[in-house]
């Protein structure tokens, strides 16, 4: 069995060498494991995980698993939805959508042919605008910087249009006897009780 495992691992290393799904330094996900490739040996491939641990994966496993190579992504996709309060007017939403499109089009770090911004849904508690774009550089740090810069700019655009971001809310309607009881409890008492109390003290 040990000899069979050794042969399987060597064969796996040959498959990796021929297919070249990754190189040393690439950031990959192999099965359940994710990290930077530190070494590709005859028997195993070693990954440095985000937790900084070193994982050795037998090459027979590497050859059999699906491999995601994040380093070789040409771009990174960003998909997000912002919810605007229902008090917004149609023209305000239309203008905001145009503003966001212009913002993304003018950013050199956004791939210009991938920008999609639309008023998409009447949500349960918000008017939903979907924003989709791709970063021109797949580097994860640059991608996070781009997302932060874009998010802050969108917040300013929302504020400039006099709009606000929505949060989950519920409207509960009562009818019949329950509504009458609640309405009665909310009525202000008349002044008779106070006046009577004053007369009694006199």
Do 41 and 82 fall into the same domain?
Answer: no
Name the helix (H) or strand (E) containing 202: none
pTM higher than 0.75: no
* 7-11, 27-31, 175-179: least confident range: 175-179
**Count of domains in the chain?**
2
Q: What is the mean pLDDT of the chain?
A: 86
In this structure, are 63 and 86 located in the same domain? no
Residues 67 and 121 in one domain: no
Q: CA angle, corner 91, sides to 86 and 95, nearest 5?
A: 105
Asked if residue 106 and residue 56 are part of one domain, the reply reads no
**Last residue of a domain, which of 72, 104, 128?**
72
Domain match, 80 and 147 both:
yes
* Alpha-carbon radius of gyration of the chain: 30
Q: Is 171 contained in some domain?
A: no
Using a 10 angstrom Cβ sphere, with 0-12 exposed, 13-18 middle and 19 or more buried, the burial of residue 110 is: buried
pLDDT-derived band at 202, boundaries 50, 70, 90: very low
- Give the CATH number, domain containing residue 142: 3.30.70.100
List CB contacts of 37: < 8 A, sequence separation 6 or more.
22, 23, 24, 25, 26, 27, 28, 45, 46, 47
What's the domain range around 56? 2-72
Would 12 be classed as within a structural domain?
yes
């Amino acid at each position: 069995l040990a000899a069979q495992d050794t042969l399987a691992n060597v064969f796996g290393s040959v498959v990796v060498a021929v297919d070249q799904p990754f190189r040393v330094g690439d950031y990959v996900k192999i099965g359940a494991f994710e990290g930077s490739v530190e070494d590709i040996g005859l028997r195993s491939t070693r990954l440095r995980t985000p937790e900084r641990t070193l994982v050795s994966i037998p090459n027979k496993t590497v050859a059999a698993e699906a491999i995601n190579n994040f380093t070789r992504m040409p771009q990174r996709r960003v998909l997000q939805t912002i919810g605007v309060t229902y008090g917004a007017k149609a023209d305000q939403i239309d203008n905001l959508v145009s503003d966001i499109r212009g913002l993304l089009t003018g950013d050199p770090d956004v791939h210009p042919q991938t920008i999609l911004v639309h008023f998409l849904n009447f949500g349960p508690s918000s008017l939903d605008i979907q924003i989709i774009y791709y970063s021109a550089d797949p580097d994860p740090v640059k991608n996070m910087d781009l997302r932060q810069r874009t998010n802050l700019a969108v917040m300013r655009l929302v504020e400039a249009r006099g709009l606000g971001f929505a949060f989950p809310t519920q409207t509960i309607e009562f009818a019949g006897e329950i509504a009458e009881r609640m309405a009665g409890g909310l009525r202000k008492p008349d002044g008779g009780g106070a006046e009577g109390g004053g007369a009694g003290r006199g």
